[in-house]
Structure 1
């Protein structure tokens, strides 16, 4: 991982992030990603979208560390298929957690796909567990 830089995304990264998510992020059930949505995220909270970028300036990992002042939420943990099992995902989770601790937060939740069983081990290794008494309810707004 010495070839990586972990940094917040900027508006100049939007196209690369969308291309990365198309190949590395799993979840056919989510709404289609758009440049406008990523731009809004970066504009609203410039530190929320953390990228792992290699020496060729290629995005090889991402995480959204959402903090609304009340709750901490992790979304979009993704690692390039050819870079998995190198600790990049764990480093991204740590970066998100450090952001939350610095903000004074006390608890975090993560969106983890039920079917992505290979990710379950990574989340468990990072100290996360499913919470059986809660379910995610969604409603598309558009």
Structure 2
């Protein structure tokens, strides 16, 4: 895909990213607001990676690095641009970032019911680990 620009997000992208996630991502998060996105960018400027084509946001992934773990969230591609290499380009950028900071393994958060995503992650070389479960506790009201 030659017309794809991969770049990190800036605070001015927050509203556009949120609108994009409503169209392209599965599920929602308690942090899906402008403050949550801009706080992510301020805390880790290289974490939110975007894919654009002709100035249009067509994909995103959060490649979070906390110094210990390399975590992947919100891999999303505009429905009309799926199966065109956008997700692969985003994962390549995320994995390159992790390698540069010393990450040893990427962990992806994937919704249990999202079968399409399961197939994509498997094709990208990731393996499901059934022995782990996510445990959550909200600290703020949605």
Instruction: Give the TM-score normalised by the residue count of structure 1.
Output: 0.95
Correspondence for 2:32: 33
Find the aligned partners of 2:10 and 2:20 in 1 and give their Cα distance: 15
Q: 8 Å contact 1:42–1:48 — kept in the other structure?
A: yes
Alignment of 1:51-66 (within 5 A): 51-55=50-54, 57-66=55-64
Q: For residue 22 of structure 1, what is the aligned residue in structure 2?
A: 22
Mapping of residues 68-83 of structure 1, within 5 Å: 68-83=66-81
Q: CA RMSD in A?
A: 1.0
Unaligned regions of 5+ residues in structure 2, if any? none
Q: Any conservation in 1 of the 2:31–2:37 contact (CA below 8 Å)? A: no
Q: State TM-score, norm by structure 2.
A: 0.95
Which consecutive unaligned segments of at least 5 residues does structure 1 have? none
* Alpha-carbon shift at residue 31 of structure 1 (Å): 2.2
Structure-1 separation of matches of 2:44 and 2:30: 21
* Contact 1:72–1:107 (Cα < 8 Å) also in 2: yes
1:81-117 deviation line (CA, Å, top 9, x unaligned): 1100101111111111110001111111000111110
Equivalent residue for 1:11? 11
- Residue 98 in structure 1 maps to residue 96 in structure 2: yes
Q: Distance in 1 between matches of 2:25 and 2:88?
A: 16
Residue 32 of structure 1: how far off its partner (Å): 5.7
In 1: Cα distance, 2:56 partner to 2:34 partner: 18
Distance in 2 (alpha carbons) for counterparts of 1:31 and 1:120: 23
Structure 1 contact 71–107 (Cα < 8 Å) conserved: yes
Runs of 4+ in 1 over 4 A off after TM superposition: none
